[in-house]
Amino acid sequence: MDQKTDAVIIGSGLNSLACAMVLQSRGWRVLICEQAAEIGGAVKTGAYTAEGFRHDWAAMNLSLFAGSPFFQRFQTELTAAGLSFVPAERCFATAFGDDTWLGITNDRSRNAKNISAFANNDGEAWGALSDQFPARAEHIFALLGTPFKFWPLAKILWRLWRKEGTRGALELLRFLLSSPRSWLGDTFESAQVKSTLAAWGMHLDFAPDIAGGAVFPYLEAMANQSFGMVIGEGGADTIIKAMVACIEDAGGRIWTNVPVTDVLIEGGKATGVRLADGRICQAQRAVIANVAPKHLAKLMGEETPDYQQKLKRFRHAPGTMMIHLAMEDLPDWRADPELRQFAYVHLAPDMDQMARTYQQAQAGLLPDAPVVVVGQPTAIDPSRAPEGKHVLWMQVRMVPGDIKGDAAGQISARDWQAAAAPMANRALDILERYAPGTRAKIIAQKVVTPDMLEADNPNLVGGDQICGSHHLSQHFLYRPMFGRSDGSTPIEGLFHTGAAVWPGAGTGAGAGFLLGQKLAS
């Protein structure tokens, strides 16, 4: 290399870019090596269907980024570099088979009124949750933004105990360990209210009966009401473009189309990386790998067999199938035209169906009635399509990475190349039932299967968009394994970041931000 480099970062995903910006702010010289042609990992936007239609490849909701400690720290620089959000007042909704629906907006009184229509006591329960949210969110967000090491964690627990007492601290702990079904059952009466919130758990590998899954639906509901939802103006890649501009303006380098084949280790210390073309990139202070655990194990050779074996045992969540649609118009929702104004519409009418879908996907079966998430970004940001036209962003959750069968007994294919079309039709059939005539409005479509997601980004193993299950045995201080939640490895100078490392998946850039602070302190 012709320049001295303090840190070589493998992968250009969101956490890599966040870590790089933190290090550069402390004077580090950074090189990022990306195996793909495009920067950003799973956060990117493109004309995947037809010219003029901009689709978010995977991530669409940027609320976690907008509320993150990383963005608070670098907001001025990122905004100056062109980052722009578009707020959504109508955040998410669920449509039900009986032509009823429930939506959550940033208007507390309206939410309570709509919820009360399903069960009067539920409106009161919603009000109580809303009243408690600021105090509870303080503790939860502090936990999510803290390295899982003894002293930082001890300080948070001490503050929690001082403010809430023993009873309050134990109640929060019980909540953090609760499944969506148990928490929702303790809080609400209406099945519709419960399923509307439980659908968010399916975004993050938490079926209704999975312990530890209550916190994500709770935060999405309360945060959306309190702060609204935001998406990126023109596409989710607005955050990537701004971060890249900041990094390059500060002298950082980002190379694309350069796969890394090995981490160079000498005397128990990481000294750099070897690229697929044979070049050596030396790192004077750190090598940082934003890769799935099994890929990190491969990059390390045979240096630490016990650690590498644990990396290989890291469990991934079921896969996801994406359907990108260029549209003449938004769906005409049978339940109410107002649904056209929501950023997300979930087609997940009851928790039992969600649980069944998850179990089928885990067993390798194509679900007979998958959860369908319909994103309507052009209802919020018309710039993503030609005038008067629209895009739909559809996620089919969950599906298996490897197909062993079809729960409905209708699809004989056992590979995604053959199963893509019939499974996409199954999802579109579901959408058509809730919004008749939608198929007739499709101009062009692109189906992205789990194997296509992984081929595009090897971190999405089996189409797992969250880079690893977040179940309790693999979360908090166990992400990715006990003792390594701070991104450390047994090799001096080698560090691990990304969604596989605490605090996990999402667009909050938490793992990269925390590691950057750790290294630059």
- pLDDT digit string, tens, across residues 482-512: 999 999 999 999 999 999 999 999 999 999 9
Q: Find the mean pLDDT for residues 392-399.
A: 97
**Is pLDDT above 80 for 263?**
yes
What pLDDT is recorded for position 451? 98
Residue 460's closest CA among 448, 468, 469?
468
Give residue 220's pLDDT band: very low, low, confident or very high (50, 70, 90): very high
Q: In what order do the strands lie in the sheet with 260-266?
A: 260-266, 269-275, 280-282
**Structure-token match 């890249």, residue found:** 244
CA separation for the pair 21, 30 (Å, rounded): 9
The model carries a pTM of 0.95
CA separation for the pair 69, 66 (Å, rounded): 9
Identify residue 42 by its one-letter amino acid code: A
Give residue 363's pLDDT band: very low, low, confident or very high (50, 70, 90): very high
Give the tokens for residue 241.
């473009």
Identify residue 25 by its one-letter amino acid code: S
What pLDDT is recorded for position 3? 67
**Is pLDDT above 80 for 103?**
yes
Distances (CA, A) of 482 to 209, 213, 485: 24, 20, 7
Render pLDDT for 15-32 as a digit per residue (tens, 0 to 9).
999 999 999 999 999 999
Query: How does DSSP classify residue 138?
Result: H
Cα angle at 89 between 86 and 90, to 5 degrees? 115
What pLDDT is recorded for position 144? 85
Walk me through the domains of the chain, giving residue ranges and CATH numbers. 7-37+256-314+467-520 (3.50.50.60), 107-227 (no CATH), 318-456 (3.30.519)
**Structure-token match 């971060």, residue found:** 243
CA separation for the pair 247, 253 (Å, rounded): 7
**Is pLDDT above 90 for 125?**
yes
| 5-14 CB burial, b ≥16 within 10 A, e <16 | bbbbbbbbbb
Distances (CA, A) of 380 to 203, 233, 234, 261, 512: 21, 9, 10, 42, 29
Q: How many residues does the chain have?
A: 521
CA separation for the pair 211, 182 (Å, rounded): 9
Other C-beta atoms within 10 Å of 352: how many? 13
Q: Which long-range contacts (CB under 8 A, 24 or more apart) does 269-273 make?
A: 269/491, 269/492, 269/493, 270/491, 270/492, 270/493, 270/494, 271/493, 272/8, 273/8, 273/10, 273/33, 273/299
Element (H, E) at 221: helix 215-227
Give the tokens for residue 324.
């990108």
What pLDDT is recorded for position 1? 45
Give the tokens for residue 223.
């945060």
CA separation for the pair 357, 202 (Å, rounded): 10
CA separation for the pair 382, 246 (Å, rounded): 27
- Mean pLDDT, the chain, integer: 96
Identify residue 204 by its one-letter amino acid code: L
CA separation for the pair 410, 404 (Å, rounded): 13
Give residue 145's pLDDT band: very low, low, confident or very high (50, 70, 90): confident
What pLDDT is recorded for position 169? 85
Q: Find the mean pLDDT for residues 116-126.
A: 96
Paired residues of 404 in beta bridges? none
**Phi and psi torsions of 65, nearest 5°:** -65, -45
